[in-house]
Structure 1
Amino acid sequence: MFITNKFNERVFHLLTFICQGSSFLNPRAYAIMHREHHAYSDTEKDPHSPYFFRDVFQMMWRTAQSYKLYEQRLKEPEPQFKGNYPEWRLLDYWGSTHVSRLAFGAFYVVFYIFFATHWWMFLLLPIHFLMGPIHGAIVNWCGHKYGYSNFDNGDKSKNTTPFDFFMLGELFQNNHHKRPNSPNFAAKWFEFDPVYPVMKFMHWIHLIRLREAYL
């Protein structure tokens, strides 16, 4: 969708680790699985299609198993899925350790102890601990089961809602599968991807360079 210089790439990589925290995803492993998902969408080779599992928990368990194989380099991807993803071996390793995930979890608890104003707020902590898996479950399950389609992509991808503020545009799965290189996941006049204006601003201040075709 865009390019940036090596310094900015490192900054984004570090901020991804900090912001994802206990849910940090290795960019290499994620990129490989995402490419597999697009290439084999809703077939048996899709790493997380909802149509081959009884429920969302089984789908995410299988997704986690596939992710671990790539994250720990126990499996080599097909040649067409390799390369062109950011790698920072030390940070990617540390961000995937149990120590790192537990440390972030402890930080979230301490933060709530100091700043939560009511007991029920502590019920939000599991969401913070598992934000990555929860986000993946919603996008991969709902985005291929519920909603409408603008395009015939040869799969079951759907646009779950035309105003996707909750998942920041990720639930425009049908549009995304049609135009995987577009930074704007919205396609019709009534759809809105809230991340696209942010990316346009980042392009304007020269943090990133969007593809000319999508400006």
Structure 2
Amino acid sequence: MVILLFFIAHWYLSLLMQTFFLHRYAAHKMFTMSPAWEKFFYILTWIFQGSSFLSPYAYGVMHRLHHAYADTENDPHSPSFSKSLFDMMWKTKNYYNNIVHKTDKIEAKFKAGVPHWNFMERLGDLWLSRLGWGTLYLLFYLQFATAWWMFFLLPIHFLMGPVHGVIINWYAHRYGYVNFKVDDTAKNLLPFDFLMMGESYHNNHHKFGGRANFGFKWHEFDPTYPFILLLNKLNIIKLKTNNDLKYM
């Protein structure tokens, strides 16, 4: 029971940072926050994503490219230009590493305003950090696992961020339903998104890239949106009212 609760907590806390901070803030700037709060959420991202820490800067730049060039040869992660799920993941990793190590040739407009805290970017990308988090997960399982099959969950802990990414970048471009006509293959993967905290409403998001609430139909509840509204009410963030933002 303890292991399952730990897995569920890691799944949703890691995903929360990915959808709230990396996606809706770093890439789309759907809301603003002070430099101090930005650093706070940088640290939370490192804690909650752990061994699979994703650079907010690299994620933001790469996701902007995805919106600008969705399902073309210039898309960093498109099933339409990948031989398999693993081929797409490998291409995404290479794109990501080039941005992290600043060896890319991406236009400056895609990098404008994307948050970058050099200390946390470096710390999160260190192998010592990744191995340290992975070791903590293993020690936790050794202490609390009550069945051998539970250890098969460990690889998901190690790669939690990329696992979340591939669910949307691969499956939500191949399976699901469509609410809006768009110029790419983005689909809504789940009619009720209990799994991806609103991220699976991918077709909605590709149509309205600046809209903080990813749900549209009555059954499309976006669990991240009430969290955003709460932070906005507490003046931790300032939600933008103009939905007609860049990188739609």
Q: Map of 1:41-56 to 2, 5 A cutoff?
A: 41-56=70-85
Check whether the contact 1:202–1:208 (CA below 8 A) recurs between aligned residues. Answer: yes
The aligned runs of 1:39-78 (5 Å cut-off) are 39-78=68-107
Counterpart among 150, 159, 164 of residue 193 in structure 2: 164
Q: Distance in 1 between matches of 2:156 and 2:56?
A: 21
Counterparts of 1:33 and 1:165 in 2: how far apart (Å)? 26
Write the deviation string for residues 30-78 of structure 1: whole angstroms up to 9, x where unpaired. Answer: 1111000000011111110111112100000000011100011111321
Whether the aligned pair in 2 keeps the contact of 1:142 and 1:171 (CA below 8 Å) is no
Report the Cα offset of residue 153 of structure 1: 1.5
Do the aligned partners of 1:175 and 1:186 also contact (CA within 8 Å) in 2? yes
| Correspondences of 1:123-202 after superposition (within 5 Å) | 123-202=152-231
TM-score, length basis structure 2: 0.83
Q: Is the 8 A contact 1:23 1:129 kept in 2?
A: yes
CA deviations on 1:137-185 (whole Å, 9 max, x unpaired) are 1110011111111111111110011111111111111111111111111
CA distance, structure 1, for counterparts of residue 138 and residue 219 of structure 2: 40
Letter in 1 for 2:172: G
Counterpart residue type for residue 224 of structure 2: V
Aligned CA RMSD, in angstroms, stands at: 1.2
Quote how far apart the aligned CAs of 1:119 are: 2.6
Which amino acid in the other structure matches residue 19 of structure 1?
A: F
| Paired-residue identity, % | 50
TM superposition shift of 1:27 = 1.1
One-letter amino acid of the structure 1 residue matched with residue 122 of structure 2: Y
Which is bigger in relative contact order (C-alpha 8 A, separation at least 6)? 2
1:203 paired to 2:232: yes
Report the counterpart of residue 116 of structure 1 in structure 2: 145
Provide the rounded CA distance (Å) in 2 between the counterparts of 1:119 and 1:144: 35
Corresponding residue to 1:96 among 111, 121, 125: 125
Determine if contact 1:69/1:75 at 8 Å carries over to the other structure: yes
Aligned partners of 1:200, 1:78: CA distance in 2, in Å? 33
Q: Quick check: 1:29–1:71 contact (8 Å CA) kept in 2?
A: yes
1:96-126 alpha-carbon deviations (Å, 9 max, x no partner): 1111111110010111122223332222111
Runs of 4 or more consecutive aligned structure 1 residues displaced over 4 Å after TM superposition: none
In 2, the alpha carbon distance for the partners of 1:52 and 1:82 equals 24
What are the ranges of 5 or more consecutive residues in structure 2 without an aligned counterpart? 1-29, 244-248
Report the residue type matching 1:74 in the other structure: T
- Tell me the equivalent position of 1:25: 54
**Counterpart Cα distance in 2 of 1:128 and 1:82:** 29
How many Å apart are 1:213 and its aligned residue? Answer: 4.1
Structure 1 gap segments, 5+ residues each: none
Amino acid at match of 2:46: F
The AA in structure 2 aligned to 1:24 is F
Q: Give me the whole-angstrom Cα distance separating, in 1, the residues matched to 2:236 and 2:191.
A: 28
What is the DSSP-based 3-state SS (H/G/I as helix, E as strand, rest coil) of the residue aligned with 1:212?
coil
Count of residues in correspondence between the two structures:
214
TM-score with structure 1 length normalisation? 0.96
- Indicate the residue corresponding to 1:8 in structure 2: 37
